[in-house]
Structures are given as C-alpha cells and as structure tokens.
Amino acid sequence: MSWRRFVAIFHKEGRHIVRDPLSLAMALAIPLLLLILFGYALTLDVDRIPTAVYDMDHTQQSRELVDRFGGSRYFQIVQPRANYASIDDGINRSSVLLGLVIEKDFAKKLAAGEEARVQALLDGSDSNTASIASGYVEALVLGYAAEVRERAMLRKGISKLQMPADTRIRVMYNSDLKSKNFIVPGLIAVILMLIAAMLTSLCIAREWENGTMEQLLSTPLRPAELLFGKLCAYFVLGMADMVIALIVALGVFDVPMRGSFVLLAISSALFLFGALCWGIFLSTVLRSQLLAYQISLLTSFLPAFLLSGFIYSLGNMPWIIQQISRIVPARYFIAILQGIFLKGTGMTILWTQFLFLLIYAGVVLTLAIRKLRPKLV
C-alpha cells in the first residue's frame, strides 16, 4: 500500500466533508440531539404514578395511609376525593394509572386486629408499568400494616417482634437505580453505530452516481488505499461524535465514570472502525445512495436498538433471537460501555467483548476490500 496514495484519498475525502458544511453540521449535531432527546425522553423509571384516592373511611388511620402514598416519590395523588366512577373515567382517559380504594370500616378493623382491605385498581394497558406499580403499592401497604401491627403490640405491652431473618439490600454500581445511568451509555453505542454506518454507506455509492469512480479506476489506486483513505476521514468525524457524546453523558446526564478513559477510547475506536467498514461494504455493494442509506439504517440502527440488550433483556427473548443477537456488534460494545461507566471493569473481564469487536472489524474489512477489488482492478 502506498502511503502517498492513501494520504491523497484521505485529503480528498476530508476536503469533501469540509466543503459540505450542512452535512458536516448534521453529522456533528445529530448525535448530540439524539442523545439529549433519547436521554430525557427514554426512561425506565416508574415514579410519580398518577393516583386517584377513594377514601370511604375518612379516619385518621385512612388519612395516614393516603399520606404515605402522597409522600412517596413513586405516587402522585391527582384525585384526592375520587369515587369508582371518577377512577374508571380517569383510567379510560389515561389521566390515572392507579385507583386506591380504602374500605369504610378500615380503622375499626385495624383496631380490632381484623383484616382491613385496601383495593388497588390499575390500568394494565402497559403491563410492565402496571406490574411495577403493583409492586410499589404492595410494598407500601405491607410496610404500613407492619407498622400498625407493631404499634398495637406495644400498646398491649408485647415486646417488638424480632424477625427470624434480617434482610439488608445493597445495590452496587447504580445505588440510586437511575435508568439514565443504564440508558445513556447504551445510547452512545446505538448513535455511534447509526452515524458511522450512514456516513460511510454513501461514500462509494456517491462516487458511482457522480461519475467520479471512473476517474479513480484509471489511476493506480489499490482497493485498500481507497478504503482506508475514505475510512480514516470519517473515522476522525466519528471520534469527534464520540467525544461530544461523552461530554453530554458526563456533563448533562451526570453518568458516573468509574473506568479508564483509555480503555473507553480503545473500545470506541475499535467499534467505530467496524461500523465504518460495514458502511463502506454496503456502499460498495449498493451503487445507489438512497438504497445504501436505507439498508444501512435497517442493518445498523434497528439491530443496535432492539437486539443489543440496550432496552430489552436478551434473556427474555426467544432462543433463535438470542442467537441472532450474537452477531450484533452493538451488543458487545454496550456491555463494554456499561462495564466501564458503571462498574469500572477492565480488560480482564471485558476481553471477550473486545475480541468479538476485533473479529467483527477484521471480517467486515476483508469483505469490503474483496468486494472493492474487482471494481478497481
């Protein structure tokens, strides 16, 4: 490979990028906009659940239970004086997710040591949210019931009941259970894959459509020189996008960074290289820019979003889908990002993910060079 010819192609592609300020601005702004948009809009946290309360007892005990719901960050009482009709109407209008109904003799039954009933009416349209909300309601009511039972025992002179097991939960790495700490690193991988594949999927196809490929065919340029020259120009642009995404993740979303920046840079460069090679491969196979753009979107964004474990747990997917996900590079890069950001893990644990990214980049690079060779030789 001639260094001179490689630099010439790199300089040519760089000038083409700079001379199109609109495309350059979009290439730098789109990752920023997507990261901010998805980072704020896409959340797995279930809190501030719209709650309607139908208190038929109107006693100190029932008000105390309602105050527990109102004081929790997981519930927001939007209808404090509801009834069955208003709860049903609120659920139908999606303004209420939870209807809390306290029976009439709630305080009397508590005082008598009988079973006092609390009814929770949930909108099950979103089964995942409803399931989580149900768990919150059950935990809060059971906690209140245990406290009432303890107060009653103390009034009767019975010592506090000791539980046979003392359960203490410690959440490691993401102690506040903030979904953005999980989502934002995954977003970096999805956006980087999308931008890289889209940028390079057009470069060879553009040469054919503009008629400049014939000029390249008349030169002693080799396939590897053309590929690496174009790839390096977009590699610089992709790494700039990575830096922007990192600044937003740390500065805007306050995602903890417990790992090595050097390891993050190496993994990002390796993943970006493979994504760029895939885009060039598509651009070589498909001579139409429109078709190359559509196929790159189909083969980069959708697998990275759906089959990488970014949003949906791979363990809950059918076996065949789990096997297909093994060839999605974003799956391994997301595991690396989450390990570096949240856990501070190093190469001793993440080496298998690095190995797959290396193999993927090598395979796609080989395919792109072989597909490009007949067109230039």
**Average pLDDT score, the chain:** 82
**Residue 113: predicted pLDDT:** 73
**Residue 356: predicted pLDDT:** 94
What is the distance between the alpha carbons of residues 170 and 220, in angstroms, rounded to a whole number? 64
318 occurs within a structural domain = yes
Q: Tell me the backbone φ, ψ of residue 105, rounded to 5 degrees.
A: -100, 35
CATH number for the domain harbouring residue 54: 3.40.1710.10
167 occurs within a structural domain = no
Q: Do both 199 and 139 map to the same domain?
A: no
**pLDDT tens readout for residues 121-167:** 998 887 878 888 888 888 888 888 878 777 766 666 665 555 566 66
Q: Do both 186 and 137 map to the same domain?
A: no
Q: Do both 291 and 184 map to the same domain?
A: yes
Q: Do both 29 and 92 map to the same domain?
A: no
**Overall domain count for the chain:** 2
With 90 as the cut, is the pLDDT of residue 52 above it?
yes
At 218, is the pLDDT very low, low, confident or very high (cuts 50, 70, 90)? low
- Of the CA atoms within 13 Å of residue 342, those in its CB half-sphere come to 22
Question: pTM for this one?
Answer: 0.77
* Helices within the chain (DSSP H only): 3-18, 21-41, 60-71, 84-92, 106-111, 127-155, 179-200, 203-210, 213-217, 223-251, 261-285, 289-296, 302-306, 319-325, 329-338, 347-376
Q: Tell me the backbone φ, ψ of residue 51, rounded to 5 degrees.
A: -125, 135
Question: Which one has a higher pLDDT value, 289 or 87?
Answer: 87
Q: Tell me the backbone φ, ψ of residue 113, rounded to 5 degrees.
A: 75, 15
What is the distance between the alpha carbons of residues 243 and 223, in angstroms, rounded to a whole number? 30
Residue 377 DSSP symbol: -
250 occurs within a structural domain = yes
User: Which of the residue ranges 112-116, 156-160, 225-229, 287-291 would you say has the lowest mean pLDDT?
Assistant: 156-160
333 occurs within a structural domain = yes
Q: Do both 24 and 92 map to the same domain?
A: no
338 occurs within a structural domain = yes
Residue tagged 């067109």 (tokens): 375
What is the distance between the alpha carbons of residues 146 and 254, in angstroms, rounded to a whole number? 37
Question: Which one has a higher pLDDT value, 268 or 213?
Answer: 268
List the domain range (segments joined by +) for residue 76.
49-155
Average pLDDT over residues 213-229: 71
What is the distance between the alpha carbons of residues 361 and 355, in angstroms, rounded to a whole number? 10
Q: Do both 204 and 252 map to the same domain?
A: yes
